[in-house]
């Protein structure tokens, strides 16, 4: 008897590509969630809340599915760096982060839509940025245009050249879907990629 349908509550091609590595059949759905942080909300709390909100947003359309939600927030000295949206904001973000160590915190949710059971994990990744010149940042932004990436750093592309060091327990977390934690959560629900 086949298990429940697996749904990725994301339109990110990078998250879809990561999940496909597990070899499990899945579908994607657009969660259409407002990602604005709540007033006074800690960055980690925001990522966790939004990962669950994304999963819940598609649950009614897939009432018998296991739904994966994920969200990432970049934080430096209490300042949150979300998706920049445009070139100017991305330039400011990267100028602020250059030569510094930034926490990219990824929230992960696995929701069993049928039972309502929720599993949550938070996965931090500390990224040390190179001390880049304005010209280097400008060149990167013109080539990559990472305006929909938290912190303007698309590590799965040219953004890797911005980075001096990555410290974390899952290299996939920085791209936006921590597969090690996800495998743990799927095993709790009796789903294994092996």
- Does the predicted model carry a pTM greater than 0.85? yes
Q: Is residue 8 pLDDT above 60, yes or no?
A: yes
- Domains annotated on the chain, with CATH: 6-188 (3.90.950.10)
What value, to the nearest 5°, has the Cα angle with vertex 154 and ends 153 and 158? 105
Which DSSP symbol is given to 188?
H
Residue 97's closest CA among 82, 113, 78, 81? 81
Catalytic residue among 71, 112, 135, 184: 71
State yes or no: pLDDT of 35 exceeds 90.
no
Known catalytic residue: 131? no
**Joined tokens for residue 35:** 């990602």
Residues whose CB falls within 8 Å of the CB of residue 41, separated by 6 or more in sequence, listed in order: 49
Tell me the pLDDT tens digit for each residue of 133-180. Answer: 999 999 999 999 999 888 898 888 899 999 999 999 998 999 999 999
Residue 1 pLDDT > 60 = no
Contacts of 43 (CB under 8 A, 6+ apart): 37, 73, 74, 75, 78, 80, 103, 105
Pairing of strands 79-81, 163-168: unpaired
């Amino acid at each position: 008897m086949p298990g429940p349908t697996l749904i990725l509550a994301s339109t990110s091609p990078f998250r879809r590509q990561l999940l496909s590595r597990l070899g499990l059949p899945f579908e994607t759905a657009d969660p259409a969630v407002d990602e604005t942080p709540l007033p006074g909300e800690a960055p980690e709390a925001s990522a966790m809340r939004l990962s669950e909100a994304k999963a819940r947003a598609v649950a009614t359309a897939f009432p018998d599915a296991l739904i994966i939600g994920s969200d990432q927030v970049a934080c430096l000295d209490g300042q949150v760096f979300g998706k920049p949206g445009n070139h100017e904001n991305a330039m400011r973000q990267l100028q602020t982060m250059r030569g510094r160590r930034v926490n990219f915190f990824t929230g992960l949710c696995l929701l069993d839509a049928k039972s309502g059971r929720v599993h949550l994990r938070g996965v931090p990744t500390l990224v040390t940025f190179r001390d880049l010149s304005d010209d280097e940042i400008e060149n990167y932004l013109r080539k990559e245009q990472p305006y929909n990436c938290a912190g303007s750093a698309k590590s799965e592309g040219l953004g890797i050249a911005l980075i001096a060091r990555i410290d974390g327990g899952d290299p996939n977390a920085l791209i936006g879907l921590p597969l090690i934690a996800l495998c743990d959560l799927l095993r709790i629900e009796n789903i294994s990629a092996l």
